[in-house]
Amino acid sequence: MASALHNLSSYDPSTVPDGSRWKIGIVVSEWNETVTGALLQGAYDTLRTHGVKPGNIIVKTVPGSFELVYGSAWMTRQTDVDAVIAIGCVIRGDTPHFDYICQGTTQGLAELNRKALVPVIYGLLTCNTLQQALDRCGGALGNKGDECAITALKMIQYGQNT
C-alpha cells in the first residue's frame, strides 16, 4: 500500500511553483460528497497556499465519478484554465459496478490527459471501504486533494518549461 509509506499531504513547499499567474479548474463528483467535499477543500486550500487567486479557481460539479471525464473534457475546451483537477471517490460494493466505473473513469481521464492541451490531474479515490476513503481525504493518510493541487501546479510549470 503506497500511501501507507507516504502521507498525501507531506511535501516540500519550496518545490512547488507559484500559482499566482495560473487558473485552475476543478471538476468534483457529488457522489460520496463527504469525501469529495473534503478532497475539494484540500485542493482549494493548497492552491491558495501557493498563490492561486480565488477568482482563478473554477469549480464545477458532476453527478458521479464516471462523469468526471465529460466534465473535465468540457473544462479543457470551454474555459481558459491552465490545468484541470478531477476529483471523485468510488467505494467498492457488492457488485462489479465498482470495477466498471473505476476502469472507465481511469481510462477516460488518461486519454483526456494525453489529448488535452492542459494537464488533467487524476484525483479519483478507488477504495475498498469508506474508512480508506476517509483516511485519504484529511484523515490518517493526509488529503489526496493537496497532492492533486501540487501536481497541477508542477505540471503547468512542466508544460511551460518543455
The DSSP symbol for 18 reads P
**Nearest CA-CA partner of 153 in 125, 119, 124, 123:** 119
Catalytic residue numbers, as ranges? 97
Write down the residue that cell numbers 509509506 correspond to.
5
CA distance 41 to 28: 11
**Nearest CA-CA partner of 30 in 59, 73, 54:** 59
How many CA atoms does the CB half-sphere of 44 hold within 13 Å?
A: 15
**Nearest CA-CA partner of 126 in 58, 23, 31:** 31
